[in-house]
């Protein structure tokens, strides 16, 4: 006979018997036996609680730590700022156009940096790095990760 089938039969036969025995000890047994029965019940749960997260870390990928709605908000802000940058760059008759472009680019860079943090993108920056180059690298890295705006 197959050993797996024998093991299944033994488990199917002994689990209900063990459960009934534990219930009897919890209901009818005197104090020390009731405490032992509670220990028999709680120790396996404690072991599983301590062992399972370590095991899951090895087998399954980690759950996302960031809020998906925060990412959607950042994508929406990036889209809005991109549209504003395009509108400012095409209009010639805007009062304070240069200051507005600079402020909008600074806001876009800040939101882009926040998006990089949410998407766990690390950018190599130096003191002399051109903001346009850093912006293009960030946009490319986010697009590689599936971000659209």
pLDDT of residue 84: 94
Residue 109's domain spans which residues? 68-144
Distance (Å, rounded) from C-alpha 118 to C-alpha 115?
A: 5
pLDDT in tens, 33-81: 777 777 777 777 777 677 666 555 555 555 666 677 888 999 999 999 9
pLDDT of residue 52: 64
The verdict on 78 and 122 lying in the same domain is: yes
Residue 121 in domain: yes
Residue 149 in domain: no
Distance (Å, rounded) from C-alpha 105 to C-alpha 82?
A: 9
The verdict on 102 and 136 lying in the same domain is: yes
Distance (Å, rounded) from C-alpha 44 to C-alpha 52?
A: 12
The verdict on 73 and 50 lying in the same domain is: no
Nearest Cα neighbor of 110 from 135, 84, 85, 90 is: 135
What is the number of structural domains in the chain? 2
Three-class SS of residue 120? Answer: coil
Neighbouring CB atoms inside 10 A of 118's CB total: 21
pTM: 0.55
The verdict on 52 and 76 lying in the same domain is: no
The verdict on 86 and 37 lying in the same domain is: no
pLDDT of residue 11: 79
The verdict on 48 and 77 lying in the same domain is: no
């Amino acid at each position: 006979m197959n050993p797996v089938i024998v093991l299944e039969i033994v488990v199917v036969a002994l689990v209900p018997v063990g459960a009934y025995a534990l219930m009897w000890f919890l209901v009818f047994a005197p104090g020390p036996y009731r405490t032992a029965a509670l220990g028999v019940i709680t120790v396996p749960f404690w072991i599983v609680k301590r062992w399972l997260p370590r095991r899951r870390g090895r087998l399954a990928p980690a759950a996302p730590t960031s809020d998906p709605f925060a990412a959607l908000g950042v994508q929406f802000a990036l889209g809005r700022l991109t549209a504003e940058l395009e509108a400012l760059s095409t209009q010639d008759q805007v009062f304070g156009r240069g200051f507005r472009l600079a402020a909008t680019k600074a806001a876009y860079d800040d939101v882009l940096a926040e998006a990089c943090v949410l998407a766990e993108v690390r950018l190599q920056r130096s003191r002399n790095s051109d903001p346009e180059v850093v912006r293009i690298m960030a946009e490319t890295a986010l697009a590689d990760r599936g971000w659209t705006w």
